[in-house]
Homo-oligomer: A and B are copies of this chain.
């Protein structure tokens, strides 16, 4: 008679194919835990991500609209920018953004570094200039020391700033959600309802666009393939980047990772519940009018895509110096 320890290799033999099969065969892939190669650069990038002095007002930081307490989003239809201006489009989550093929809804930035440069000098957002942002940082010796430690120079420029922010953002992945536990072979990780929702998700065609590690972020598609989407938002999506008529009203497929946390939904942020978003997308993209039970199941499945949120210590920002350019919160000052 075999001992328990003699059985273990046999158990491993039978369970390993489940893992290999799921990871290989399912359209969704598990998120890999992040490997930090340069902790000093990540720490600097984290400070800059939380740094309101990259904005004209001294009030808005990356974290204002990509709030790490809130799934990396601001949970507003469109964001609040400098002087309370209304942003043109819903702020996508920063979480797992490194897993997308491109940044912004229209993919106009190819990299996170390129993206990070955008809001700083966007007059609707942080309303600063790259020159002034760098001037602020250069005036603060503690920042110069940090940049020198990472980039071997005190002659810093905006590329150093956005590189550090991007490298920090690359650490903002959310592995080990319940769905990933299931993908890796843990049959107990999902309930029957969640599995039923995932089955429907695949069968009706959602996974044609929402696949891969990020469950999205790999393609551009028209919003409203089968039926038209009505919105007051003027964005023409990818067309504004390519000028190609076939790209009109085409947007980057948003990630469904942590989608439970990143309401409201769509590029116009018009829809507040996952139930409604699911119903609308099935109708617009697939021409399906789904029974409520299917929607509830799919929502239950999508909630299993919430992963471990990054554990972030609030950074301490070095104080301004007498020579530091002052913020301009109000134009009458």
Which residue numbers of A lie inside 8 Å of B, CB to CB?
Answer: 50, 52, 57-59, 64, 67-71, 74-77, 80, 83-84, 86, 260-261, 263, 272-273, 275, 309, 311-317, 319-320, 322, 326-327, 329-330, 333
Contact = CB atoms under 8 A, between A and B. Distances in A.
Given A315-B69, A329-B80, A320 B75 contact: yes
Contact of A311 (B76, B263, B313, B320): B313
A64 B320 CA distance: 18
Contact of A313 (B76, B314, B333): B314
- Copies in the assembly, this chain: 2
Nearest to A322: B273
A317 B69 contact: yes
25 contacts: A58-B74, A58-B75, A58-B76, A59-B64, A69-B314, A69-B315, A69-B316, A69-B317, A70-B317, A76-B327, A76-B329, A77-B329, A80-B329, A83-B84, A84-B330, A86-B330, A261-B319, A263-B320, A272-B322, A272-B326, A309-B316, A311-B314, A312-B314, A313-B314, A314-B314
Contacts of A71: 319
A286 B50 CA distance: 40
Contacts of A317: 69-70
Given A260-B319, A314-B314, 15 more contacts: A52-B67, A52-B74, A59-B64, A59-B80, A69-B315, A71-B319, A75-B320, A75-B327, A86-B329, A86-B330, A272-B320, A272-B322, A275-B322, A311-B314, A312-B314
A297 to B, nearest CB: 17
